[in-house]
Structure 1
Amino acid sequence: MEKTDTKRAEAARILCAITFHFDQSRLGYLAEVLRSLAEYPVAAMNVIVVTNTLEKNELGLLNRLCRETLPGNGASVRSCTDLADRWDLTWCHKQIIAMEFVQENHGRYTHFIYLENDIRLSFLNFCYFVEFREALRGLGLLPSFIRVEYNAAFGGFTSSDVFWPVYVPVQSHVLLGDTVLVNMPNPYNPLFILDLELATEYVHSRSFDRQTSATVCPWGVAERAAMGLCLENVPAPFQSRYVAPVSRLTGAAPAFAWVWHMPNNYADNPRSPLGKVRMDRMFVGAGELGPDGRWNTTDSVETTTSDRNDVSFVIAGEFKRGYEIKAHGTTESDAVGTDAPPDEDVPPLRDQYFLISHHDTLVFADTDLQRVRHAPFGVAPLNLLIELGGQKGRLLLRGKSPGEVRQISAERSDIDIRAQTARANLDCDIETFADGSISIRTGDHYLGSDLDGLVRKKNWCRDWERYQLVRRDTIEGLALLRRYSWLSHTDRQTHSLVAQPFDFGRERPTESSALAASLAPGAIAFRRKLKFGPTTLRLTERRQQLLFEPCDLSLGQLIPERLKIVDTSTEAESDFSLFRPLICFLLGTADSQFEKLRHSLDSLSRVKRLGATIGIASTQPNTYLQQQIPEPYRTDALLLNPESTHDNTTGALPGICDYHPVVFADTGCTFGPDFKEHLIDLLILRRGKLVPDPGMAAYATVPNPPPYRRDPDDPFPRAP
């Protein structure tokens, strides 16, 4: 949805309040705010500028500005004095809401807008709110905006309120058509819009009062004044009521949701980590969501060795350091290099973990910049591990091929971090804290993660120098849970890991920004564990939770057939089997074979939620076979050469060892409505072979070559 309908918005009758602490140097911003409101082609527009001044000349300037920019519209200036704190001015519009918009409205207004005095809210922005407010009404969510700034160095817009890109699948979200409405990690908006229903809810909420709003979240006074209903009545599992639109097709936020913060405070400040993420690179992973809002699986028929090391769960694509406007230049301090001489290789340790910073970001090695950095889960590559042995450890840089690692040495000097060609001795001192987090000390320095995305050495150990640990086998196991379907032996249902909100167990975000992210009360409970079918996983659990059955490498098997998940909080164990059915047919050249095949596939298509792949063995050209295979099986069909169907050494069928179960079927056989249930019984009861319906045989494990018979119409061997 890239366009909005303007008809409903044009019928609106708007009451708008803008707070302006008088500063003549900022009158230009206020003028542009008023000019933008004057362009609204609505039924009525009444604007109230709330200011702190009583000076006649200053009030004269404000009144003249209103007359010039809002001719024919109601506009007035009201003074609010005797303020204990200058920021209290931002709360002086609350009585306007309570009295003029709610209590004494009598049908005069349909919408109320609160604006900070430097935010340009266009009519297109308002149209977006009106349209999506109706679309989200039944979900208890509200459309939010993304504050943007213009970055002169880049020549484009950036986000004011994020430190790094947002990985969409692990944020709470809802899908409306091709638009994903997603919770932002930082839900702050410098404005809010209310209809009468929302306004009534707002005036009775804690967020409406200056004092009680502090019990809702720890934002500053001015930020809480603009909070609206952001953190009130938040539906689970969302962390705030605000959701921002992202196109699933383009991966970007539509411009109708952008509001311009005209001073460009953050974008033009080279010392600020905010205002540096480009709008066209702000969101990652929206395209990974399917039409139902779940993760798209990437279940390729042709399995390769890359499957075993697939980390698509957390990598939304090749990591691009260009998500920022300009990369931080490499300096001698904290660099990652590969020119160190090789050290004596020492054995690996079992305990390997990824590092999660206090900002809920993952630590990685940026091999382009030669720096250790951190970025959100799903954006950062999984290339840096810590290997622990007691109170010592070492940092490992993972290579592109399986088993390739290089140790990052942090002890060669007090500023350099460089990579060696093999494992060396444990060169980091590990300090452990009561919450399970650790610090990493090299000599007299600790590794700390700063808000600009860089990891630096520090002379102290505070929150930013502490890290949570996530097991390597947990993260790599999640990729398999997401990519394939797994049959639960508990509920007899098939499950894949669904996109869901989570973090790594932090109590509350504590960024130093006044615009620090916040969570609605109770939202944390929904984010600490991943749900998978009838069981749950805790990402920061130090004990092993995912126990995959080893693959049979002699068969070229790359995907485990069975899995046990241990809930470490209850010690309950849940068994799962890979559910990736393959239905194999052997075809001759007779036309009757294809007629029989179509009959079989027609009956197969009526088996609900099977998700099977078909395998065809034939000497016919593959292009011809694909034309004969009906949809929806054509794209993913596994085409086999019958002359090399069986491996001479193992008797296995090449290309099918990573399917489970495997069914050999006669062309012309009929798949009954209970076919899937028969396959479930086969896997749960661990039977070697089962005959679900006449003319077919199902195997839980790929068999040796079965006995063959010949059909007069088919010169090729066929399965019993």
Structure 2
Amino acid sequence: MNIFFLEKLRKIYKSLGKKEKEINDLITFKKFKRNSINYKISDHNFNLENITEQKIKFVAAITFYYNESKIDNLIQACKSLGEITSNSEIYIFTNKNSELLINRCKENLSFNVNFEIINQPVNDRLLPWYHVNLMKNFFKRTEITHFIYLEDDILLNKKNFYYWINSRKILKRFNLIPGFIRTEKNFVDSKIYAIDFIKKNKIKNLPNLYLNKTYNFINHHYPYQGMYLYDRELMKEYLFGPSSNPDCGHGAYKIDFLDTRMINLDLMAKANIGLTYMNIPEGFYNRLVTLYNKDLKKIDKACCIEHLSQRYSNEESSFGNINLEDALS
């Protein structure tokens, strides 16, 4: 076979490769449509303002690659966690034993935070994975109801937490997890951007769950959120399943869990992707769903978490270019 025909074949196969994801997504959506009658919930008492649980006790772990200029964001993230409930424990995993960091936290926080100093990690990029052992230890304590892992510039507030708790009650029967959207404010146009959306998603092409006349849960293509929040059931699934292994997603780890979406994540990002691509229900692209407000025709603010560094929407980047109001349309 001469070079001319080989080149032609190469281009054809390359073109087919580009279409593979679109075809796979179409197949997934067709499977959802086939079973869509099972995803109408009709919960008219859905509440975003408070929770009925009396014994919430969470542990939060934050990875902080030491950088003096980022301490203010870290403190702001800790403050917001402390406002959710006083019955919590916060651990900061950092690669430097810094008196400045410890003193700044003491001066600005009305509660204690714990520091885990990993000053000689095997590699700095493994620092985010040290939180897994913390979860293992706290899982043994039955009074711990939830575990939160965050990057150091993620602001999770009380309304976000309430949204997750109340949505999880509804979604667990479908093996789905409430998701968050990282947002930033652009300093030029003052608009809010859904920074992890590379393209706008058309709702008509996405799996969704009817909740009531105001809300739907939408399963979109960009579930990265820079954090995760798990109850004990999800903690158990994570700790005793493949996703707590940094190699998960690679065929070399186990061919059954080969997933290009995880391969394309760097080692640090994989530390917070958790169960996103594990045990996905048939007809869904991933495990996370987002609350959509049909009255306002946009993602509800209850599931929007602020990315405090505000860097993607204010710098030249492939991220941070999709307005929150246009992300799902």
Q: Does the alignment pair 1:4 with 2:48?
A: yes
C-alpha displacement of 1:167:
0.4
Following superposition of structure 1 onto structure 2, how do residues 234-313 of structure 1 map, counting pairs within 5 Å? 234-269=280-315, 271-284=316-329
Question: So what's the TM-score if we normalise by structure 2?
Answer: 0.79
> 1:48 maps to what in 2?
91
Distance in structure 1 (CA, Å) of the matches to 2:71 and 2:54:
28
> 1:87 maps to what in 2?
125
Contact 2:51-2:165 at 8 Å conserved across structures: no
C-alpha displacement of 1:203:
0.4
> 2:73 maps to what in 1?
29
Contact 1:62-1:77 at 8 Å conserved across structures: no
Q: Does the alignment pair 1:68 with 2:111?
A: no
Contact 1:207-1:229 at 8 Å conserved across structures: yes
Distance in structure 2 (CA, Å) of the matches to 1:222 and 1:9:
33
Once the two structures are overlaid, the 10-residue window that deviates more, 126-135 or 79-88, is 79-88
> 1:97 maps to what in 2?
135
Distance in structure 2 (CA, Å) of the matches to 1:191 and 1:8:
24
C-alpha displacement of 1:146:
0.5
Q: Measured at CA, do residues 152 and 9 of structure 1 come closer, stay the same or move farther in structure 2, by a change above 3 Å?
A: farther
Contact 1:9-1:127 at 8 Å conserved across structures: no
> 2:215 maps to what in 1?
179
What amino acid maps onto 1:76 in structure 2?
Answer: N
What amino acid maps onto 1:67 in structure 2?
Answer: K
C-alpha displacement of 1:38:
2.2
Distance in structure 2 (CA, Å) of the matches to 1:119 and 1:183:
22
Contact 1:38-1:69 at 8 Å conserved across structures: no
What amino acid maps onto 1:78 in structure 2?
Answer: E
Distance in structure 1 (CA, Å) of the matches to 2:228 and 2:320:
21
Distance in structure 1 (CA, Å) of the matches to 2:280 and 2:311:
31
Structure 1, unaligned stretches of length 5 or more?
285-720
What amino acid maps onto 1:189 in structure 2?
Answer: Q
What amino acid maps onto 2:233 in structure 1?
Answer: E
> 2:83 maps to what in 1?
39
Distance in structure 2 (CA, Å) of the matches to 1:140 and 1:49:
30
What amino acid maps onto 2:100 in structure 1?
Answer: L
Distance in structure 2 (CA, Å) of the matches to 1:265 and 1:5:
30
C-alpha displacement of 1:277:
1.7
Q: Does the alignment pair 1:117 with 2:152?
A: yes
Contact 2:51-2:166 at 8 Å conserved across structures: no
Distance in structure 1 (CA, Å) of the matches to 2:322 and 2:199:
6
C-alpha displacement of 1:33:
0.6
Contact 1:162-1:277 at 8 Å conserved across structures: yes
What amino acid maps onto 2:299 in structure 1?
Answer: A
Q: Measured at CA, do residues 48 and 225 of structure 1 come closer, stay the same or move farther in structure 2, by a change above 3 Å?
A: same
- Structure with larger Rg: 1
C-alpha displacement of 1:263:
1.2
What amino acid maps onto 2:196 in structure 1?
Answer: D
SS in 2 for 1:197: helix
Following superposition of structure 1 onto structure 2, how do residues 360-509 of structure 1 map, counting pairs within 5 Å? none
Q: Measured at CA, do residues 283 and 93 of structure 1 come closer, stay the same or move farther in structure 2, by a change above 3 Å?
A: same
Once the two structures are overlaid, the 10-residue window that deviates more, 211-220 or 130-139, is 211-220
Q: Does the alignment pair 1:160 with 2:195?
A: yes
Contact 1:190-1:226 at 8 Å conserved across structures: yes
Contact 1:159-1:275 at 8 Å conserved across structures: yes
Q: Could you give the per-residue CA deviations for residues 419-448 of structure 1, whole angstroms, max 9, x where no partner exists?
A: xxxxxxxxxxxxxxxxxxxxxxxxxxxxxx
C-alpha displacement of 1:275:
1.2
Contact 1:33-1:121 at 8 Å conserved across structures: yes
Compare the two structures and name the one with the higher helix fraction. 2
Q: Could you give the per-residue CA deviations for residues 120-167 of structure 1, whole angstroms, max 9, x where no partner exists?
A: 111111110001000101111000000101101111211111123210
Identity %: 23
Contact 1:150-1:157 at 8 Å conserved across structures: yes
> 2:275 maps to what in 1?
229
What amino acid maps onto 2:123 in structure 1?
Answer: D
Distance in structure 2 (CA, Å) of the matches to 1:149 and 1:257:
13
SS in 1 for 2:319: coil
Measured on the aligned residues, the alpha-carbon RMSD in Å equals 1.8
- Count of residue correspondences: 274
Contact 2:276-2:288 at 8 Å conserved across structures: yes
SS in 1 for 2:52: helix
Distance in structure 2 (CA, Å) of the matches to 1:14 and 1:8:
16
C-alpha displacement of 1:197:
1.0
SS in 1 for 2:113: strand
Distance in structure 2 (CA, Å) of the matches to 1:278 and 1:126:
23
Q: Measured at CA, do residues 10 and 161 of structure 1 come closer, stay the same or move farther in structure 2, by a change above 3 Å?
A: farther
Q: 2:116 aligns with which of 67, 72, 78?
A: 78
SS in 2 for 1:181: strand
Contact 2:75-2:109 at 8 Å conserved across structures: no
Distance in structure 2 (CA, Å) of the matches to 1:9 and 1:161:
32
SS in 2 for 1:222: helix
C-alpha displacement of 1:10:
6.3
> 1:292 maps to what in 2?
none
What amino acid maps onto 2:246 in structure 1?
Answer: R
Compare the two structures and name the one with the higher strand fraction. 1
Q: Measured at CA, do residues 69 and 195 of structure 1 come closer, stay the same or move farther in structure 2, by a change above 3 Å?
A: farther
Q: Measured at CA, do residues 9 and 122 of structure 1 come closer, stay the same or move farther in structure 2, by a change above 3 Å?
A: farther
Structure 2, unaligned stretches of length 5 or more?
1-43, 251-257
Distance in structure 2 (CA, Å) of the matches to 1:13 and 1:65:
25
Q: Measured at CA, do residues 192 and 130 of structure 1 come closer, stay the same or move farther in structure 2, by a change above 3 Å?
A: same
Distance in structure 2 (CA, Å) of the matches to 1:143 and 1:7:
15
> 2:18 maps to what in 1?
none
SS in 1 for 2:299: coil
C-alpha displacement of 1:61:
2.3
Distance in structure 2 (CA, Å) of the matches to 1:234 and 1:211:
19
